[in-house]
Chain A
Amino acid sequence: MVELQNVSVTYSSGVDALNNVSLKINDGDFAFVVGSSGAGKSTMIKLLLKEIDATSGVVTVNGYNLGKLKKRKIPEFRRTLGFVFQDFRLIPSMTVYENIAFVLRVIDAPLKYIRKRVPYVISLVGLHSKTNSYPDELSGGEKQRVAIARALVNDPQLIIADEPTGNIDPELSYEIVELLKGINDQGTTILMVTHEHDLVRHFGGRIINITGGEIVFDEVISGVDEVLPEEELAQAMAEASSVSNTGNIILPDQRIMTPNGEYADADRNGGAE
């Protein structure tokens, strides 16, 4: 579980990166975090990884109060997380197997378990034939699958994926999100940061929009692609109760509309239409 209570982050330069943010992501949830660059997404991820501390407020991840977490306890905390980077961050001198097994080495897992668990996770991401390949022998999509397998191998409660589709072909992006959705179906909480609205619209689910260091939108939407007629768009613009930095419009009936006039229905009660 992830919980932010009235969290603010002000950097030493005086920049307010997050401003009184409150958020709760329950176990088993899948949430997209969207927002333009500089909106505060990266700061939020740094907070959740305990890379930085909040200036004020309480951050709780997987039962750890990060503000009170001692430095020597950080490795223990991070072992409850899986992390997927935009640029994969695989160790180039290690094979696919070694990159994944490495995480279990870190927690001093028995060799027998490592030998059983790693091939299983590799097969889950469909890379069995690449077990002994090195990262530079893999495509972008394959590298990201290895990164997901690495995040998964430790059976974490929460996986944080920071722009996991940012460095791969658009058609492969859907595969990656589907893979993460599959992992989520098994009960792992997934928090995926992305700026690809097509993906968000396609898959739907909980969308958290951070703009200017504040959460301007936090709803569950369906994954239906629709296009509004021209006149309806104009009317909606006029009636819009808020406009985010990305140009998305939150309509009075809580639907989101993109600048292209496409929209997806929102459901405050958590159910997709």
Chain B
Amino acid sequence: MKISGFKYLANQGIENIWKNKMMAFATFCVLLISLLLVGGSALFYYNMNSMILGLGNQNEIAVYLNPSTETLRVQQIQAQLENMDNISSVEYISKEEAYNRMQNQIQQGKAIFDYIDSYEFMPDGFKVTVVSNDLIEDTTAQIGSIEEVQSASSSPQVAEFLRELRRVVSIIAIAVIIALSAVSMIMISNTTKASVFARREEIQIMKYVGATNAFIRTPFFVEGMVTGFFAGAGAFFITWAVYRAIFRILMDQGTLVRAFGVGSIIPFDKIQLWVALAYLIVGSLVGALGSVISTRRHIDV
């Protein structure tokens, strides 16, 4: 096919959108809704995953040293911890700070501190955050094996629970996305079929005058692709507006944000490029292929 021929067919495809505007609009709407359903589910899953991971990051190992450990040794142990695998951060908690925290925590029996004149009996300690919760038990054992470490404790049950939660959420989310994709494909297929069916006679005429299948399909391909592209753009702007609104509402909830890992919701700015690309590419491809596949039934004359 010559370039001028392709240009003609591409123009035909674009003109067809206008000429068959009602069917094109129906295809646009179905593609838009389908993209929003699948895209929205994918973003919901992505954020749930991030929130669970965020909750996991709050899982810490409490490390207490022997009270008699000297300051230099404390510093050495801190350096040693910082160099270990799977350690995200190490926060030093001095004897004095630990004493103050204890005073704050025991409000009712505060009088007992009148009999204590020094915090020297308190141990130095560290608040260690891990990179991966999955390895928290190993990391805890490794820290516990360091000399001068009186105790290293974590809550592996929390890690296990979060791991299980992620697994369940992933299965549900993937199932929902697959189901929505299937429903969307059926809707898109029916709409494009109806759109092509309305023009079956046109296709037959083309066949009778000796048009090749490629010649017949190219305008449908371009038409589907352009409609899909605009549906993708529409889906992106709706997602952008809704996502930002939800993000703002949740972030205004203050303490709730930390408590439920809402703080880990991904700001739209960080993912907008990928969301836009995904919508536009998937929209264009599904639109184009749906349209071309639907011509198959009418092309064999």
Contact = CB atoms under 8 A, between A and B. Distances in A.
A, B assembled together? yes
B210 A89 contact: no
A186 B197 CA distance: 39
A154 B210 CA distance: 11
B205 interface: yes
A105 B218 CA distance: 13
B76 to A, nearest CB: 79
Interface in B209-257: 209-212, 215
B19 A83 contact: no
A175 to B, nearest CB: 23
Given A105-B5, A105-B8, A49 B208 contact: yes
A156 to B, nearest CB: 10
Contacts, number: 48
Contacts of B91: none
B4 A102 contact: no
Contacts of A49: 208
Contacts of B211: 75, 106
Contacts of B201: 89
B209 A102 contact: yes
**Interface residue tally on B, bucketed by range:** 20 to 34
B210 A78 contact: yes
Contact of A108 (B5, B16, B20): B5
A44 interface: no
Given A93-B19, A108-B2, A78 B208 contact: yes
Contacts of B208: 49, 78, 83, 89
B223 to A, nearest CB: 13
A169 interface: no
B164 interface: no
A91 B5 contact: no
B202 interface: yes
Contacts of B87: none
A91 B205 contact: yes
A85 to B, nearest CB: 8
Contacts of A178: none
Given A89-B201, A106-B215, A150 B209 contact: yes
Contacts of B5: 105, 108
A171 B5 CA distance: 41
A103 B206 CA distance: 8
19 contacts: A75-B207, A75-B212, A77-B210, A81-B210, A89-B204, A89-B205, A91-B205, A93-B20, A93-B202, A102-B206, A103-B209, A106-B209, A106-B210, A106-B211, A106-B215, A108-B1, A111-B4, A154-B209, A154-B210
